[in-house]
Structure 1
Amino acid sequence: MGLLWQVVRFESRRMMRNFAPVFFALAFPVLMLCMFGGIYGNEPSSRLDGRGTVDMSVPAYLVLVIAVTGLMSFPLGLAEYRDRKVLKRFRATPLGASALLIAQGLVNIALSLLGAVLLVATGWLFFDLHLPDSAGAAVATAGSLVLVTLVMYAIGGVVAAVAPSERSATAVANLLYFPMIFLSGATIPLQIFPSTMKAISDAVPATYAVKLLQHAWLDSATNVALDVGVLAGLLALAAAAAVRLFRWE
């Protein structure tokens, strides 16, 4: 356990030197919230089904935070280590290469949690964010976050598994990440999408994550069974594919 903790500490220091995931997980969602919260405030809007911009944005931005680490940082870290033969060398140590996977997962999830706390705290302190109004809503939100996190990391695992090199992993991760966050409602509210864009968003997995989190947080209208079913099915498929296809070297 002591050796694993040392690997986690090393990965933490390494993460803090990596500008992109730290910025997009910690600063970018907060900047988005400050920009749109400063423009629109949190007054109820008919365009957002009677809810405030900040109230609708924070649950959606949580998907943005998770996607940064799950789709970008986690798989790119694994691809880099495989490309540089680090995973191969670790397989000869008492810890084994799986220690790096565990450490990478723990550090990235910790970064997501910190990003989520900063986002919620900013909304609550400066923009009158309404928190989940019951213990049941808080539990539903936490459960939804766990499911969304597992899905994003499973997809990231597939990226790390199929990409033949660090460079190709970066290209694949970018092709997944940016369309997903801009077409799912994670940055721009789905309620203001034109009908054609809404139809496109139905094909984006993160759309169901956004809808599920907004429902859990705000009790907004959605088809919960569909959202959970899509996410759970995607989790099962992606996890199975990642385990089957992942190469240590």
Structure 2
Amino acid sequence: MRLLWQVVKFEARRMMRNFAPVFFALGFPVLMLCMFGGIYGNKPSSLFGERGTVDMSVPAYLVMVVSVTGLMSFPLGLAEYRDRKVLKRFRATPLGPSALLIAQGLVNIALSLMGAVLLILTGYLLFDLHVPHSVANVAAAGGTLLLATLVMYALGGVVAAVAPSERAATAVANLVYFPMIFLSGATIPVQIFPSTMKAISDALPATYAVELLQHAWLGTATDVVLDVGVLGGLLVLAGAAAVRLFRWE
């Protein structure tokens, strides 16, 4: 356990020196919230069923936070270590190469939690964000965010598994991540999408995570069974594919 903790601390230091994932997990969602919150405020809007822009945006941006660590930081870190034979060398250590997987996962999840807390505090302190008050709503929002996190990490595991090199993993991760966050409602509300773009958003798993989290947070209308079914099914399929296809070297 002590050796594993040393690996986790190393990965944490390495993460803090990597600008891109830290910025997109901690800075970018807050920047987006400050821009749109400063423009629209948090007054009830008919576009969002008499809910405020900030109230609708924060649950959506939470999906963006877990997406950047799950779809970008996590798989790119694994692809880099495989390309540089780090995973292979860890086979000769008492911990084995799985220690890097655990450490990468823990550090990225910790970064996601920091991003989520910072985002919620910003919305609450600056824009009068309405947070869930009942235990049931808090539990539902927390469970939904956990499910979304697991799905994004499972998809990230597939990216790391199928990419033949670090450079290819970067290209694939970008092709998955950016359309996912911009077309799913995680950054731009789907309520303003034309019908064609809404049809495209229906094919993206992050869309169901955003809808389900907004429902848990605000009580917005959604098909809970469909959302949970899509996310749960994708978690099983992507998780199995990541385990089946992943290569240590």
> Scaled by the length of structure 2, what TM-score is found?
0.99
1:224 aligned to 2:229?
no
- The alignment partner of 2:156 has SS state of helix
Partner residue in 1 for 2:161: 161
Partner residue in 2 for 1:196: 196
1:112 aligned to 2:89?
no
Partner residue in 2 for 1:171: 171
1:236 aligned to 2:236?
yes
Per-residue Cα deviation, 1:134-162 (whole angstroms, up to 9, x for no partner): 11000000000110000000000000000
1:123 aligned to 2:123?
yes
Aligned pair count reads 249
Alignment of 1:3-152 (within 5 A): 3-152=3-152
The aligned amino acid for 2:202 is D
Q: CA deviation at 1:239?
A: 0.4
Q: CA deviation at 1:92?
A: 1.0
Identify unmatched segments of 5+ residues in structure 2: none
The aligned amino acid for 2:214 is Q
Identify unmatched segments of 5+ residues in structure 1: none
Q: Residues of 1 paired with 2:94 and 2:196: CA distance?
A: 54
Q: Residues of 2 paired with 1:67 and 1:23: CA distance?
A: 13
- The alignment partner of 1:247 has SS state of coil
- The alignment partner of 1:196 has SS state of helix
Q: CA deviation at 1:49?
A: 1.3
> Scaled by the length of structure 1, what TM-score is found?
0.99
- The alignment partner of 1:58 has SS state of helix
Q: Residues of 2 paired with 1:205 and 1:15: CA distance?
A: 26
Q: Residues of 2 paired with 1:40 and 1:181: CA distance?
A: 21
Q: CA deviation at 1:183?
A: 0.4
Q: Residues of 1 paired with 2:195 and 2:50: CA distance?
A: 20
Q: Which runs of 4+ in 1 moved over 6 A?
A: none
Q: Residues of 2 paired with 1:66 and 1:119: CA distance?
A: 12
Q: Which moved more, 1:205-214 or 1:194-203?
A: 194-203
Q: CA deviation at 1:190?
A: 1.2
Q: CA deviation at 1:104?
A: 0.1
The aligned amino acid for 1:232 is G
Q: Residues of 2 paired with 1:228 and 1:174: CA distance?
A: 26
Q: Residues of 2 paired with 1:114 and 1:99: CA distance?
A: 23
The aligned amino acid for 1:76 is L
Q: CA deviation at 1:15?
A: 0.1
Q: Residues of 2 paired with 1:123 and 1:30: CA distance?
A: 8
Q: Residues of 2 paired with 1:223 and 1:156: CA distance?
A: 26
1:215 aligned to 2:238?
no
Q: CA deviation at 1:191?
A: 1.2
Q: CA deviation at 1:133?
A: 2.9
